[in-house]
Amino acid sequence: MKTKRSGRLVDMTYYMIQHPHELIPLTYFAERYKSAKSSISEDLGIIKQSLEEQGVGTLITVAGAAGGVKYIPRLSKEEASSFVNELCERFIKPDRLLPGGYLYLTDLLGNPKLVQQIGLMFASIFANRKIDVVMTVATKGIPLAYAVANFLQVPVVIVRRDSKVTEGSTVSINYVTGSSKRIQTMVLARRSLEVGSNVLIIDDFMKAGGTINGMISLLDEFNAKVAGIGVLVESEDIEERLVDEYYSLVRLSDVNVRDKSIEVIPGNYLNHYDQMTIIEGELEDENYPNE
């Protein structure tokens, strides 16, 4: 039975939101609703306009026999700014400060709604990159990596401190931590990453960037490329940063253990947001070119 336009619009929108970054042939929708491709194209135009007006994403089309349409999720700058401010408010709570100046993040990383929003933030700003996998280091970065990967529709690769018998043979490297200058080891299962992959690195916290720099060195062993770097929170008071190009949502500006006070400001994420442009058929980031 042929589906009415109102029904098609709702169902198509829902389907594409559930399948972000997936190329969907127009013939799929034409057969699904028993409608002409011309009608489907008109429907997609209506959906695209609505998505862009609401600031929740866009549709891009790929011409040709193997072409189709992709939904690219994205937040408006207003929503992104509001969410960053919400994160900053959550970070300054005094009970978040642990002995030794460490921050308690489990409540944030254990909140599915919050983690999904963080995932959407990073997926939005990295939407134009060619990304094959999302990489993180165990353990706190795992929820964030899966959230980002869900919106980008790519697998997750987890770097560990020691090898697991269930992961088979591994590649290991030694790296120097940024702050304490200690030598540590990280490992990655050989079969978890294809040679030459484009990798998006996601981490929960960055001080000098030693751990992220270690992951970059590990990628060299696979001839893989860094497609981008995203961190939830970065520490501001660092003499030497080992990582230059990255996006952060929150910047930790001061921690006073005695007064149990935490000062944060928005990270550099919003500084780059205006330079993300959508053009027909593809997305471009004018400030952060591919490696």
Whether residue 131 is found in the same domain as residue 9:
no
Q: What's the pTM value of the predicted model, to 2 decimals?
A: 0.89
In-domain check, residue 290? no
Residue 92 sits in the same domain as residue 235: yes
Are 101 and 46 in the same domain?
A: no
Cα separation, 209 vs 245, whole angstroms: 11
Peptide bond into 170 cis (omega under 30): no
232 plus 210 within the same structural domain: yes
Task: Pick the last residue of a domain from 16, 38, 73.
Answer: 73
Q: H-helix or E-strand containing 144?
A: helix 142-152
Rounded to whole angstroms, the Cα distance separating 126 from 135 reads: 14
Q: What average pLDDT does range 158-186 have in this prediction?
A: 86
* Structural domains of the chain, count: 2
Q: Is residue 150 part of a domain?
A: yes
270 in a structural domain: yes
Pairing of strands 170-176, 183-189: antiparallel
Using one digit for the tens of pLDDT, what is the confidence trace for 220-263? Answer: 999 999 999 999 999 887 777 888 899 999 999 988 877 888 99
Q: Indicate if the pLDDT at residue 129 is higher than 60.
A: yes
Identify the H or E element spanning 198.
strand 198-206
d(C-alpha 145, C-alpha 120), whole Å: 11
Residue 61 vs residues 82, 174, 275, 281: alpha-carbon distances, Å: 30, 44, 22, 6
pLDDT at residue 90 is higher than 90 = yes
pLDDT of residue 288: 35
CA distance 281 to 72: 11
The region, left, alpha or beta by phi > 0 then psi within -120 to 50, assigned to residue 125 is alpha
42 shares its domain with 95: no
Percent of the chain with pLDDT strictly greater than 70: 92
The per-residue pLDDT for range 47-78, each reduced to its tens digit, is: 999 999 998 999 998 887 778 999 999 988 89
Mean pLDDT for the stretch of residues 143-165: 94
250, 155: one domain: yes
User: How far are the Cα atoms of 87, 113, 174, 216 from residue 107, in angstroms, in the given order?
Assistant: 12, 12, 31, 29
Q: Round to whole Å and give the CA distance between 160 and 172.
A: 9
Shared domain check, 153 and 109: yes
For tokens 């013939």, what's the residue?
27
Residue finishing a domain among 73, 94, 124: 73
pLDDT at residue 241 in the model: 81
Average pLDDT, the chain: 88
